[in-house]
Structure 1
Amino acid sequence: MTSPQGPRTIRNATKDASTVNATVYTVETDEERETAVSAVEKAVLDGRTAVIPTDTVYGIAADAFSRGGVQQLLNAKGRSRQMPPPVLISDASVLPGLADELNADTEALAEAFWPGALTLIVYSQPSLNWDLGETRGTVALRVPDDDLTREILRRTGPLAVSSANRTGQAAATNADEAVAQLGDRVELIVDDGVRPIGRAEVATEAEAVPSTIIDLTGERPVVVREGALDLDSLRKVAPRLITRDELEREQEAAEESPDRTESIADGPGDGPHAAPATPGSVEEGLVTSHRSGSVDQARSVDQLRTRESAENHRRRARQEDIRPLGVDEARSLLFPESGDERS
């Protein structure tokens, strides 16, 4: 049961009657919080989208296992499948069920910095029957540092989440901004106040900068976008970690050395999840600054490397004769129900 105020429906007079009128749920009381979380759970598991608060900005969320839901997310933002959304998960224990061939660096980074402002690009489990867009066999994963967001994720399982904005616009840092941009494109919005990125004064400097993105699909971890986590802290956990600039310098040196027998030309760093270091670009889970710009400014990918990596991944899956799991089967294996909630 909700408080007397209850959820409110936003009606935009500039839209025709056939468009969606978003219902906004507040979470000021325990009853309101439960109502909001249940509403999000029902919506996304029915293949619809919802706007939820995260530890950075507001995000538009869809069930990561629902192709239709993910497409609704992309449509709401005006995005193509060439810019796949990252996936938020409730905690690091979910990682082995979604990522293929976890290495020591991946596990160490997740243990050290999750929940928090670290996005890890890994190969996706080939047995999972999901479609996030043109990922080339990879997925970008993050555990948000927000209690309400993780509570939602424990109920729904992994969510594809992108910043709550139309492409090219500033990401919503409060519910009113989300309503203004997406009120006619989503069915519900959870209002949990102003997000850290939108506050006039944030608690720490790290809250005002993007999350760090690390590509773990190559021989060494590569920072494809520097952000809230400093390199020294990261290298204490993953000593072999290098930046994209360092990788490019190594590649240039290798090209100038004809006697070198070991090539690093297929190193990671320019894939579908890679985001530019340009301040102000917007992508929840990847780029988290709300000020201006767009992820569409991302650098072009290394087509040869990504095609080879994806083909090798598909070939390995065929050789192992892996049967893709259906949506319900994947859920039951990854998130067994315990009472009324998924553990």
Structure 2
Amino acid sequence: MARHIDIEEQPGEALEEAVRILKAGLPVAIPTETVYGLAADATNPAAIARIYETKGRPQFNPLICHMASVAMAEQHAVFDPISRRLAAAFWPGPMTLILPLRQDSPIHSLATAGLETVGIRLPKGFASVLIEKLGKPLAAPSANSSGKISSTSAAHVEADLGQKIDLILDGGSAPVGVESTIIKVESDSSVRLLRPGGLVADEIERVIGVKLIRPAAASAAIEAPGMLASHYAPGASVRLKASSVQKGEALIRFGRQAVEGEANAVAVFDLSPSRNLTEAAANLFDYLKLADASGANTIAITPIPSTGLGEAINDRLERAAAPRS
């Protein structure tokens, strides 16, 4: 069973123990502002392989590499002017840039799934301190079994991966609650949104002055994490845009929406009674886990606006509801 260390109560011990385990080539569950990550040395192929093994993640699905600073990121990736502008505006924070990998970067090809690009993010808080102390980038996908609901608390990580890893750093609930927004700059007029996330598209478009290009379909080529058609899935099936509830279903609604047959639900959760999309994003994965644990075979979810953070929420829900292999 994994050892837990509270990073607020024992910051020194948390840092020392995490560095020790990471240097031994083992993964550590760490809190970030988006979701909890399963982190390992991005330059160590054995450590990266343990991430894939622990999660049961296919090795064609690349990992985001987390950096402590822009200076560190520049040692591993080539920045174009627009990417530099985005980094200056939004790092540290919930944005990942897909950039050309420098030929002399020690990031291992297992982390990039053999691609010539690398996904880079600068996290806030303790994760950044840990990376700085280690002196190497951390590959860190979400700390959950592959394809399942992402973890936004240490308790979520424990329930899913606690028997497979040695250390969970507890930083409380992740404040953003969904993964980072992933951006790829192809030219001055072509900037692609590969995955909506914790940074809303409108803010990015305001900085770069052009509209983001959305993927044509969820089945597009895998260029970044979170692009698999089926992802973020609970054990129960997911039914979207529900206007009624069948007997034995769990209900997740938004904004106190009235739902026909609500009394039939085995459990009811409201992502945000006040229709606040920031609150809804923070609650999304936790409520999916709670609904899944209710014993329902199906989780019915009412419509959620697609504006702002609603784009990321709907992306996660559509992948959670997608047919599973």
Scaled to the shorter chain, the TM-score interval is 0.5 to 0.7
Q: Percent identity?
A: 26
CA distance in 2, matches of 1:228, 1:174: 16
Q: CA deviation at 1:271?
A: 4.0
TM-score by length of 2: 0.65
Judge conservation of contact 1:118–1:229 (CA < 8 Å) in 2.
yes
Partner of 2:180: 211
Change (3 A) 1:294 1:122: farther
Q: CA deviation at 1:270?
A: 4.3
> What is the CA deviation profile of residues 133-162 of structure 1, one whole-angstrom value per residue up to 9, with x for unaligned ones?
5241111111113x1111111112210001
- Equivalenced residue count is 240
Judge conservation of contact 1:115–1:143 (CA < 8 Å) in 2.
yes
Partner of 1:45: 23
TM-score by length of 1: 0.62
Are 1:124 and 2:124 matched, yes or no? Answer: no
Structure with the greater relative contact order (CA < 8 A, sep ≥ 6): 1 or 2? 1
Q: How does 1:1-343 map to 2 (within 5 A)?
A: 21-29=1-9, 32-100=10-78, 102-129=79-106, 130-131=108-109, 132-145=111-124, 147-156=125-134, 157-196=136-175, 207-217=176-186, 220-244=190-214, 270-273=221-224, 275-276=226-227, 281=232, 290=285, 291=288
CA distance in 1, matches of 2:230, 2:127: 25
CA distance in 1, matches of 2:169, 2:318: 24
- Structure 1 residues not aligned, in runs of 5+: 1-20, 197-206, 249-268, 300-343
Q: CA deviation at 1:210?
A: 4.3
Q: CA deviation at 1:184?
A: 1.8
Partner of 1:7: none
CA distance in 2, matches of 1:295, 1:72: 29
Judge conservation of contact 1:120–1:213 (CA < 8 Å) in 2.
yes
Counterpart residue identity of residue 213, structure 1: I
Judge conservation of contact 2:150–2:232 (CA < 8 Å) in 1.
no
Judge conservation of contact 1:169–1:294 (CA < 8 Å) in 2.
no
- Structure 2 residues not aligned, in runs of 5+: 234-280, 290-315
Q: CA deviation at 1:121?
A: 0.5
Change (3 A) 1:92 1:169: same
Judge conservation of contact 2:28–2:39 (CA < 8 Å) in 1.
yes
